[in-house]
Amino acid sequence: MTTRIEYKKRIKELFANRDFIWALSKKELKNKYSGSRLGIWWAVILPLLLALSISLVFTKAFNVSIPKYTFFVLSAILPWAFFSQGLSEGANSLIANRSIFRQSTAPKEIVPISSILGNFLNFIIGLAVIAPIFVVLNPGIMLFIVPLSMLLVFFLLFIAGLGLMISTANVFYRDVSCFLSLGLMVWFWITPVFYSMDMVPYPYKMIGILNPVTYFMVNFRNFLYYGRFESYPFLMSSFLALVSFVAGYRVFLVHESELSKRL
C-alpha cells in the first residue's frame, strides 16, 4: 500500500512539474545540435543514411529480396536510434546534471526522464518528416494512427524505465555506461532491425523472442511498412512498457537518498 501511495504521489509531482520537464527536454534537444548547421535535420539524415547503407550491403552482397528493402530497414532503424541514443544519454544524465539533481526541489527523476524525453522529441520530429513517405507507399497506414500513437507512448515508457534503472546504476558503478555502449552494439544485431523474425531459424529465433525490443520493432514495422495491426506484439509492447517503467521507477526510488550522497 505504501509503495502504491508513493508512486501516486511522485506521478502527481511529475505532472505538477511538467513545465520544468518540458523546458529541460527542449534544452536537451537544443544542446544536441548546438553549433550544427543542419540542426534537427540530422534526426532524419542519420537514420536514412544508415538505412541506405544497410540496404546497399544486404541487397547487393547478400541478395536480400525484400521489396522496398530500404524502407523495410528504415521502419525499424528510426525507433532503434531513439532506443540507443535515449539509453546512452539517459545513462549519464544524473552525473552530467548533478547540479540540477542537488539543487532542484522537483522530483529527482526529472533529470533522466527529461534526457530521454529530449531524445523522444528528436525521434518524433524525424518520424514526422519520414512518415509521409510511408503513407505514399502504403496509404493503409492512416488506419492505424491511433494504435501507432499508443505504441509511441509505450515505447517512451519502456525506455524511460530502463533509463531510470541504468542511470541509477551508473552513479554507483561508473563502468555501466561503458558496458552499455558494448551491450547496445550486440543488442542491435539480435534485434530484427534489418531482418524479419521469419528469416531467423530455430533455435536462434528464441533470442529474438526473448528480446523485449523485438516486439516494439515488429510493431513499428507492421504499422509503417506493412500497414497492418497484430494484436500479440502490440499487447506485449504495452505489458513490457508497464513492467519496465514500474521496475525502473522502483529502483530509482529505493536508491534516491543514496544517489543524493554520491552525486
Q: Which of 202, 216, 218, 179 is nearest to 87 (CA)?
A: 179
pTM attached to this predicted model: 0.91
- Report how far residue 108's alpha carbon sits from residue 260's, in angstroms, rounded to the nearest whole number: 9
- pLDDT given at position 1: 43
Supply the pLDDT for residue 223: 95
C-alpha cell at 180: 552499455
Please tell me the predicted confidence (pLDDT) of residue 108: 85
Domain tally for the chain? 1
Q: In this predicted structure, what is the pLDDT of residue 38?
A: 66
Say how far residue 162 (Cα) sits from the centre of its chain.
Answer: 9
Q: Which residues of the chain have pLDDT under 70?
A: 1-5, 35-36, 38-39
CB 50 within 8 A of CB 77: yes
Domain that holds residue 195: 2-262
Residue 89 in grid coordinates:
544519454
Predicted pLDDT of residue 9: 82
